[in-house]
Structure 1
């Protein structure tokens, strides 16, 4: 478990943590996007869907005062489908990425994403990808500033928008040791 001044970050534990609490976090964190008319699955998914979406993933949670205030899931190659980029054997995928609105803008989201990028690098992957709504320009801008670039468009059956697939080239082992 990683501790920062205000947060603890650790893997989600099915036998310890509440899937219902994780689901509520996702729902409330994506509400502002829902208010914009974007129907991300996380805006309305129930606990059964949350459990399915983290099954087999490396799901991290951020805790403050024993409450889940952030989450991110990493999926190994072969776990995510629906667009050609996600199906490459050198590409990991980020999903279910959320920070409670009360804690947004404090760097917690960056900390979670950095942890997953490090994990993906350590597993030997060359790329880490994610998707967001094409109309969510503010999110696209954040990801682009973090080194993610546009790859392709995708249309998911569970959303009402076209998604942009963004990906970041992870450092090679030689680059990382310098």
Structure 2
């Protein structure tokens, strides 16, 4: 027998809602968002890796490091009930990176992709990567790269399932593990093709706390860039 769909409240809005408007995913705004909250969410998101003995930076990073890395790229967040539940920072060329691929002028990269544990396993990571591909493809980057701990087989498998291929390994200074460097040729999502890269707020958004069979739906303003994120089906 099919389980009944959860009844959800319209009082739970996704992202920073002001006067009835908000966005599913938007750029981190230091004027209204908290680096401390962002850091705490990353700690939760990477706690599993920490328990595996992997000393990823996001496991116990300081607020200052979070701020530094967010400002170095294009940091996006999603909020629910005023709390950050998803983040991702996208970089263009990073000439100072010890990773050769990140230094290339034709490669963009995904950094500090973190999803609150309560929201993991619901397809959000896949949708975030879809947006990242579009972000990279629009200005003409040939590769979209990322790194993940090689011992974290579940993450390596996840990224490979999204079309990323392992192109190298790298031992970042201070880490107790080697990192797999993965890359994919970014593709602009067809439904996004005519959209601007400038992130705009949607007119309305509906977000609900995680519950079986609950959807997170956002209606985007014409010209907005996040159609691939306009519907998440969150299944336990």
* TM more than 0.5: yes
Q: 1:40 aligns with which of 56, 59, 80?
A: 56
Q: Which runs of no fewer than 5 residues in structure 2 stay unpaired?
A: 1-12, 16-23, 194-236
Deviation at 1:41, TM superposition (A): 0.3
* 2:37 equivalent in structure 1: 21
Using the alignment, how far apart are the partners of 2:25 and 2:174 within structure 1?
A: 29
SS in 1 for 2:72: coil
Number of aligned residue pairs? 172
Identify which of structures 1 and 2 has the higher relative contact order when contacts are C-alpha pairs closer than 8 Å and 6+ apart. Answer: 2
Stretches of 4+ aligned residues off by more than 2 angstroms: none
For 1:124 and 1:56, locate their aligned partners in 2 and report how far apart those are by CA, in whole Å.
20
Deviations 1:93-124 (A, max 9, x none): 11110000001011121222211111111121
In structure 1, runs of 5+ residues without a counterpart are none
Report the structure number with the largest CA radius of gyration: 2
2:111 is aligned to 95
- The answer (yes or no) to whether the contact 2:77–2:85 under 8 Å persists in 1 is yes
**Could you tell me how far apart the structure 2 residues matched to 1:74 and 1:64 are?**
21
C-alpha displacement at 1:82, in angstroms? 0.8
Could you tell me how far apart the structure 1 residues matched to 2:149 and 2:101 are? 16
CA-based RMSD: 2.1
Q: 1 CA distance for matches of 2:81 and 2:95?
A: 33
Question: What TM-score do the two structures reach when normalised by structure 1?
Answer: 0.90
TM-score by length of 2: 0.68
User: Residue in 2 aligned with 1:77?
Assistant: 93
